[in-house]
Structure 1
Amino acid sequence: MGHTRTTDGPESTTTQKEDRVMINWNLFREMDSLRREMDEIFRSVGAGDLVENAFMPGPGARRFPRLNLREDGDHYYLYALLPGVDTDHLDMNMVGNTLTLSGERMEEVSEQKRTWHRRERGAGKFLRTIELPAEVDARGVKAEFRNGVLEVVIPKAEEAKPKRIDIKVK
């Protein structure tokens, strides 16, 4: 039995059932969707590269870590480039079909004074959220870190795997 709450008159009546719809809202998915929409708007007026780099440190900086994502019938495969990141400073978690990589690339510390001629390799904390196209089985995720590359194998949930459907001829 739904409870009714009234605010500001009869037109603004809502039920608890309607309030529960908001439970499926995912902040990271919404932020990523908003970023994609904004990128598309700026690309459509020819300012895509300008905006992509506008808020990043240094000229030509990109999202970190850089990654590739591919799939086959049963799995997603994610490859994240993380040179100079120690696994002690790397975290990965999944919520639903959203994978989040976070961590820190530590800055080189030295007692002696150094004269830098070029410093293009950044240091500091990072966070990257990737929404996968379909539901996954988070219990079966496997990750390996080798030569500065994080390789993640993510099994698709059974309902997300392609199914062969036989066609009967009459």
Structure 2
Amino acid sequence: MIYKALFGSPTRRFGSPFSELDNMRRQMDRLMEAYRKQPAGHASAGVFPSININEDKDAYYVSAELPGVKSADLDLSVTDNQLTLAGERKITEQATDVRYHRREREAGHFSRAIALPGDVNAEGVKAKLADGVLTVTVPKAEKAKPRQINIQ
């Protein structure tokens, strides 16, 4: 009994082959719980620009938030089923003696590759930038469009 109290059960000494995995899982659970408890306004390094992708039977539509970015500073390309959006976000510089209290808007080059769910017709891509939102219409390739089949 003294051995068991001091050293644990002799059979527990070797432990389960999965005990180390259980220990790692518990550590990850604690880490994720700490992450979830961060305040709602906590700034994090997000992906720029934020995008939405949707589709109908004829095309894919990609909307990207690009506040303050001019169309001359954007480069858009389509290869196979991948849309690449690159550009530069410029923010007017303040005087050198300015002290920031909060700085969440960053300037610089960005690039975002977006995999589209199916084949596309690269020749028919259209893009429009209005009110800081880039809307790209990417038509589907004819072979990717759904076909109505008549039942006889």
TM-score, length of structure 2 as denominator length: 0.70
For residue 85 of structure 1, give the secondary structure of its aligned residue in structure 2.
coil
Three-state SS of the structure 1 residue aligned to 2:149 is coil
- 1:72: which partner in 2? 56
Aligned with 2:65 (options 77, 81, 104): 81
Structure 1 or 2, whichever has the larger Rg, is: 2
CA distance 1:134–1:119, change in 2 (3 Å): same
What SS does structure 1 have at the residue aligned with 2:76? strand
Q: Find runs of 4+ consecutive structure 1 residues off by over 3 angstroms.
A: 44-48
Corresponding letter in the other structure for 1:152: V
Identity rate, percent: 46
Counterpart CA distance in 2 for 1:86 and 1:110 is 20
Q: CA RMSD in A?
A: 2.6
2:93 to 109, 113, 116: 109
Match of 1:90 among 68, 74, 95: 74
Residues 92-127 of structure 1 deviation map (CA, whole Å, 9 limit, x = unaligned) = 000111000001111322345212110011211111
Structure 1 residues 45 and 129: CA distance shift in structure 2, 3 A: farther
Gaps of 5+ in 2: 1-27, 36-41
In 2, the alpha carbon distance for the partners of 1:74 and 1:160 equals 9
Match for 2:100: what amino acid?
W
- Larger helix proportion of the pair: 1
TM-score of the superposition, structure 1-length normalised?
Answer: 0.63
